[in-house]
Structure formats: structure tokens, C-alpha cells
Chains A and B, each alone.
Chain A
């Protein structure tokens, strides 16, 4: 890193909170309180009011987030970083970490996304979970999730962030396994937690390295001294946090849990596994910009991971018949875009966050739409049993369509602005990466069109006895709001607002030269997208969709259906050898180690059973041995004296 660049890098220098911003802690406390009350009182006692309490706390947080956001808007650019220290959390010797909240433009946006989308999904869940006996507990878990996620994005140091980081992991575990009586749900929940824990190794080691390097875990201290650490340290840090991000954001090679996570109730998939939690990895990378800006190697690694995942997820999305899994593949792919952007440094941070926001809108919208469709189809998730639903569930169809247009990047919908910027930046970085991102856009268009066609258009392939009906108001209103946001989310880029807003945190956008004007890139992207749509229409829309998935398909399709063999690789490389290793170790422990102990005892036992044979019961032989012994002593004494 050259000196000139270092000077332009932003430093986290927060001031103390005041005024409305001192209510920051309440934003977290509200949902935490909701979760505590419901969990402590139990499901039965709270079933009457839990959903109201759950919604109220999150909406309250949203209102407060809005107030804080407006306050921040009213401040000058230099005063937009504030910290609220609640108390010293951990203090041991020279180690210290505060329970302190950092509120800056980056966390402000996240706060709005989490509480905003969170509120809508809470409201949606009131209808969606209406007939579930454990609805109260569901809302407790959702509230717990929101609180943990808020801690994650408001933490002012890595240790506190770790609290939120694993807190959302816990909420995700509880919610994926919400229908515990299904073994598949329980297994998926455990898998998600364990894979996330692998990522947490990166988070834990990274935090430790941060402390041993900088003597503090606070973002402020680290960012101020970032330039002084060695290149190797920064690279290792970058890679460790990338590992953490891979776990949480389901990036290759820790991607395998996300598709299974669709076992959870659909609002969970929308909130946690699409809009918020899975983007925490992107947040981590962007938040740690002061680390990544000093290490090109780690940045390259981030770009590679993002690029691989955006294609990986997109390919999986093409072959899935389960509507939620198709959307999950898409989520993986879109987060790949964000990671790719985040790996580009100051040129991409703002766009990563921008895409994160718009993706939060349209993906939550589509997941909730999928939930609405499932609601209509008696919880069937197989798209091969759908078809021609646009009349049956018109509101869902329209809102889903808006989300669809947004995700494939049709102007002027939100996705166009955000994705186009990332592809442009990717081309600025590297031709290969740019091409991959462009290809990803085409595949996205293909699989999303496929989902649209199979679900809402074409002919009826419904199961017998299914009577689709539109969902209740509590479910459709959030859909409409999210659809509107998907349509107009691009406004955030008006006058480069989002870029300038984030500049105090992530640094100003670097000027990058492209061989062609940006408009050409946009046109090419649109052409590729059109090609993808056209291909889908030709392959899916023009033919009859079979009600069962055809088995005689190409190798690519089979691989994509098997999640590109991610699980098989894990199984073959880790689980089976691990299983045998554990069995071997347990048997070694039981037989060799414990055997040595029991063996020693047994040896003494055997020895004594040999020696006790000397106790014959014949008095005269005892007398003889007495005599011999005495003689022996006499002889010995004589021998010594002589």
C-alpha cells in the first residue's frame, strides 16, 4: 500500500452519542425483551398475545431506527460516527472488550433493513403461522434473531460482533429446526450450526489475531493502527474473516447448509436465509475494510470466492424443482455478487451494500411470495405441481413478478441498478471476473424465468384436492410493500447517494477506467439477460412441464440437482473419515488406554492368585518355611559379618 492511499482511507473515529441517538440500545433491547418475555412465560401462556408483542417490539425498533437515521442525516459528514458504551463487558488482565454500540452510516442502513424487512416478515408470520400450535415460540425466536442481528451490526468491536454472529446462528438453528418432529429439519438445523461453527473458527482466530496485533478488539483502535501491521498479518486476518464470512453467508466451500436450511418455515427463509443473516458475511468484509484495504491477496481471495459462488449458486438454482431451494440457490448466487463487489475494495464496498439492500427487498419479497404460494397449495413446494397460478393468487403473482423483474435486472427495477454497477466494477477489476459476473446475470435470468413459468404460467399441474386461494391480508400487505421497494429501491443510487453516504465508512469510490463507456456494459448485460429469459421461455415455457422430474437428463443437470456434489464431497472427505476416526479413537480409548489401566489391575490380581497357592493350609509346611526363612536370615547375617 502506498502512503498516499493510506491517507485517503477512512478511520473509525466515533464520538459519544447524544440526543435521539442515545436511545440506540433500546433498538436492541426491545426485541430482546420480547423474546425473553415469551420464552420465560412459555408457549401456552403467551399464545394469545405473543404475535402482537413480537410485531410491536420489532416495529418499535424500526421506528427508533428511522429516528436515528434521520438524526444522522441531519449531521455533518464528520459527525456521522457515534459510539454508545453501555459497560465493560470482558476485562481480564490487559484484555478488555466493551459492550459498546457503533452507529455509523453503514450500520444505519443495516438497522433499517433488519428492522424494516423484519417488521414486514413478523406481520406476514402472523398469518402464515396462524394454525401452528407453537406460534408464540416462533415469534420469540424471530425476536431473538432480530436482537442478535442488531447486536451484530451495531457492535463496535470484534468480540461483541461475535456475540451477535453466533446469536443469529443460534436463532437460525432454532428456526430451521422449528418443526423438530421432522428429522430432516432437525438434521438441517444441526448442519447449519456446525458448518457455521467452522466459519466461526475464522471469526475467533481473527479476533485473537486482532488483539495480539493491535492490543484492542475495537474497530476504532484497529482502523487507526491498521497501516502499521505487517502485510502478512493483514493477509492472514483477511483470510480468517473471509472464512467466517463463508460460513455465515454460505459461500463456497461452506455453502452446503443453506439449501438444507429451507426446511425452516418460509418467513424464516425470507428473513434469515435471504434478507439479513446470510448477508452478515458481506457486512463483516465491508466493516473490516480497514483490514482488506491493506492486503491485496485477501481481497483477491474474496473476489475468487464471490465469483465461484455466484456461478455455483446460479447453476444449482437452474435445476431445483423445490421453489424454496431454487430461490436459495439464487440467494447464494446473489451473495456471491456482493462478496465479489466487497472484494474489489473501495471501488465495490458501496455497491456490495447497495446490492445487499435491494436483494433484501426483492428476495424477501419472492420468498414470502413462495410462502404465499405454498400456503395456497397445501404446503407443496414442488414447482412441477404448480402452474397457471396467476389467476388463483393474483396479488402474490404481481408482487412476485416485480421481484422477478428486479432480480434479473430489468430497468428501472432495483436489481438493475445494483447488479449493473457490480458487473461494471468487476470488469474494471479483471476481464475474467467481469465475464463470470456477466454470465451469472444470464443464468439468473434463466432460472428465475423458469421459476416464474413453472409456478404462475403454463398449464395446471395441481395435485388432486388442492384449491389455491389468495393469502390473508397480513400476508399480502407485506408482499405489496416489499414489491414496491423492489421496484423503487434503485432510487438509493440517485445522485450516487448511497456511495456518498457510505464514503465516511468505506472510503470514496476509486475511479476506474473501462475500455468502453459504462452504457455499453449495461447494454451487454441487458442483452445477456434477454438471452437467458429467451432460453428459459424456449426450454420451459414452450413445452409441457412433466409432473415428475425426468431422470434421463444431462450430467450437468444431475450435478446441479445434487447441489454440485457439495454434500457428497463433505460426506466423502470429512464425515466418513471423521466417523471412522472417531470410532477408532473411542475403541483405542476403551481398549488400549483403559485396557492398560484395567490390565495393570488385572496383572496384580493374577499375580496374587498365583502366590496365594502357597497358602496350603498345612501347618507343618508353614513351619518349614518359617525355619528356612530363619536359617536364611542367619546365613545372610553370617555372610555379612564374615
Chain B
């Protein structure tokens, strides 16, 4: 079994995710794009685990999933709060935390 298709898919997903993060303003979409990037890297990790025949990559993928789940909880809560106070989920408008 060749690893290439999986890696190509992973790269495509990662690129879509990163372009989405850079171009979209809606915080929810940005958030989902981040998830996409995480899953792209998960796919790469699992692929390499399979190629090398050990479990390190899969363990790492589980870690990522756990962290991603935790992140979803905190991240969504923050986005909700921002939306409630400002009636908008645009990441460009929430730029108070600066110099």
C-alpha cells in the first residue's frame, strides 16, 4: 500500500484549512478550518504510523484529538461570548488586544 495518496489528501486538507484561516472573517469558519488542519495532520500521523509499523503516530493522533476536543469547548465558548457582547463573530472586529 502506498502512503502517497493519504499524504496528498492530508496536504490538500491542510492547505484548504490554512487558506480558510487566512481568508475567512467569521470566527466559526476560521475555527472549523483550524479543525480541518488538525485533522489533516492527524491523517499524516496515522499514515506514518502505518508505514513505520509502530503506534507512536496513532498515540500522537489521539493526543491531538483530545486537545482538539478541549480546544473546541474553550474556543466555542469564547466565540459565543464575543458574539453575545458584540453581535458579530468577525475576527477582524475583535482586535482590542493589541499594542
Q: Are A and B interaction partners?
A: yes
Taken residue by residue from 14 to 25, chain B's Cβ proximity to chain A (1 for < 8 Å, 0 otherwise) reads as 000010011101
Using an 8 Å CB-CB cutoff, how does the interface string of B71-99 with A read, 1 for contact, 0 for none?
Answer: 00000000000000000000110111111
CB atoms of B22 and A617 under 8 A apart? no
Q: When the two chains form their complex, are residues B22 and A627 in contact, meaning their CB atoms are under 8 A apart?
A: yes
B97 & A620 in contact (Cβ 8 Å cutoff):
no
Contact B18 A627 (CB under 8 A): yes
Interface locus among A177-185, A519-527, A608-616: A608-616
Minimum C-beta distance from A187 to chain B (A) = 59
Chain B: number of interface residues, binned into ranges: 10 to 19
> Does A87 have its Cβ within 8 Å of any Cβ on chain B?
no
Q: How long is the Cα–Cα vector from A199 to B95 in the complex, in angstroms?
A: 75
Q: Does A553 contact B (CB under 8 A)?
A: no
On whether the beta carbons of A615 and B22 are closer than 8 Å, the reply is: no
Q: Which A-chain residue is minimally distant from B23 (CB atoms)? A: A620
Contact A612-B99, Cβ < 8 Å, known A619-B30, A620-B91: yes
Q: How far is the CB of B76 from chain A (nearest CB, A)?
A: 16
On whether the beta carbons of A616 and B22 are closer than 8 Å, the reply is no
Residues of B within 8 A of A466 (CB): none
Q: Are B98 and A623 in contact (CB under 8 A)?
A: no
Q: How far is the CB of A495 from chain B (nearest CB, A)?
A: 102
Within the complex, the shortest CB–CB distance from B19 to chain A, in Å, comes to 10
Cβ B92 vs Cβ A620 within 8 A: yes
A344 smallest CB distance to B (angstroms):
86
Give bound CA distance, A624 to B22, whole Å: 6
Select from chain B the residue with minimum beta-carbon distance to A623.
B21
CB atoms of B97 and A617 under 8 A apart: yes
Knowing A623-B21, A623-B22, A624-B22 touch, does A617 contact B30 (C-beta < 8 A)? no
B21 in contact with A617 (CB, 8 Å): no
Measured CA separation A619–B95 after assembly (Å): 8
Shortest Cβ distance from residue B82 to the other chain A in the assembled complex, whole angstroms: 11
**Residue numbers in B under 8 Å from A555 (CB-CB):** none
Q: How far is the CB of B20 from chain A (nearest CB, A)?
A: 10
Say yes or no: is A618 at the interface (Cβ < 8 Å to chain B): yes
Q: Is the CB of B22 within 8 A of A613?
A: no
Contact call A616/B98, Cβ cutoff below 8 A: yes
Enumerate chain B residues within 8 angstroms of A618, measured Cβ to Cβ.
Answer: 91-92, 95
CB nearest to B18 among chain A residues: A627
Q: Within the assembled complex, what's the spacing in Å between the Cα atoms of A613 and B98?
A: 8
Flag if B99 contacts A613 (CB, 8 Å). Answer: yes
Rounded to whole Å, the gap between the CB of A14 and the closest CB of chain B is 84
Bound Cα distance from A623 to B25, whole angstroms:
12
Which applies to chain A's interface (DSSP): helix, strand, loop or mixed? helix
Are B91 and A615 in contact, CB atoms less than 8 angstroms apart? no
* B18: chain A residues within 8 A (beta carbon): 623, 627
The CA of A615 and the CA of B97, in the complex, are separated in Å by 8
Interface magnitude class on chain A? 10 to 19
Question: Once the chains bind, are A620 and B96 in contact (CB under 8 Å)?
Answer: no
State A343–B56 Cα separation when bound (angstroms). Answer: 102
**Which interface residue of A612, A618, A620 has the most chain B CB atoms within 10 A?**
A620
Q: Using Cβ atoms and an 8 Å threshold, which residues of chain B touch A623?
A: 18, 21-22
Contacts of B94 in A (CB 8 A): 619
Cβ of B18 to closest chain A Cβ, rounded Å: 6
Check B99 against A615 for contact (C-beta < 8 Å): yes
Within 8 A of B (CB), among A281-306: none
Complex-state Cα separation, A624 to B18, whole angstroms: 9
Given A623-B22, A624-B22, A617 and B96 contact (CB-CB distance below 8 Å): yes
Give the Cβ gap from B79 to chain A, nearest Cβ, in Å. Answer: 12
Q: How far is the CA of A61 from the CA of B25 in the complex (A)?
A: 103
Q: What residues of A have a CB within 8 angstroms of the CB of B97 in the complex?
A: 617
Smallest CB separation, A548 vs chain B (Å): 78
Name B95's contact: one of A613, A617, A624, A627 (CB within 8 Å). A617
> Could you say which of A617, A624, A627 has the most chain B C-beta atoms within 10 Å of its C-beta?
A617
Cα distance, A370 to B52, chains bound together (Å):
117
Nearest A residue (CB) for B91: A619
Within B1-57, which residues are at the interface with A (CB < 8 Å)?
18, 21-23, 25, 30
Docked pose: A615 CA to B96 CA in angstroms: 11
- B98 contacts across to A, CB distance below 8 A: 615-617
Q: How far is the CA of A191 from the CA of B95 in the complex (A)?
A: 70
User: When chains A and B are docked, how far (Å) is the Cα of A531 from the Cα of B92?
Assistant: 110
CB distance from B94 to the nearest CB of A (A): 8
Chain B nearest CB, measured from A532 CB (Å): 91
Measured CA separation A545–B30 after assembly (Å): 110
What separation, in Å, do the CA atoms of A350 and B99 have in the docked complex? 89
When distances are taken between beta carbons in the complex, the residues of chain B under 8 Å from A617 are 95-99
Q: How far is the CB of A628 from chain B (nearest CB, A)?
A: 11
Please indicate the chain A residues that have their CB under 8 angstroms from the CB of B22 in the complex.
620, 623-624, 627
Task: Tell me which residues across on chain A come within 8 A of B30, comparing CB atoms.
Answer: 619-620
Complex CA gap A627/B22 in Å reads: 9
In this complex, the member of A612, A613, A615, A623 whose beta carbon has the largest number of chain B beta carbons within 10 angstroms is: A623
**Smallest CB separation, B57 vs chain A (Å):** 19
- State the CA gap A620–B31 with chains docked (Å): 12
**Which chain A residues lie closer than 8 Å to B21 at the CB level?**
620, 623
Chain B neighbourhood of A613, CB < 8 A: 99
Chain A window 585-628, contacts with chain B (Cβ cutoff 8 Å), 1 for yes, 0 for no? 00000000000000000000000000011011111100110010
The docked-state distance in angstroms from the alpha carbon of A617 to that of B99 is 8
Nearest to B95 among chain A residues (CB) is: A617
Chain A residues, CB < 8 A from B99: 612-613, 615-617
Complex Cα–Cα for A618 and B30 (A)? 13
In chain A, positions 621-642 with a C-beta closer than 8 Å to chain B are 623-624, 627
CA distance A286 to B51 in the complex (A): 107
Residues of A within 8 A of B (CB): 612-613, 615-620, 623-624, 627
10 A–B contact pairs at CB < 8 A? A615-B98, A616-B95, A616-B98, A618-B92, A619-B30, A619-B92, A620-B21, A620-B22, A627-B18, A627-B22
Given contacts A616-B99, A620-B21, A627-B22, 4 further A-B contacts (CB under 8 A): A618-B91, A618-B95, A619-B91, A620-B22
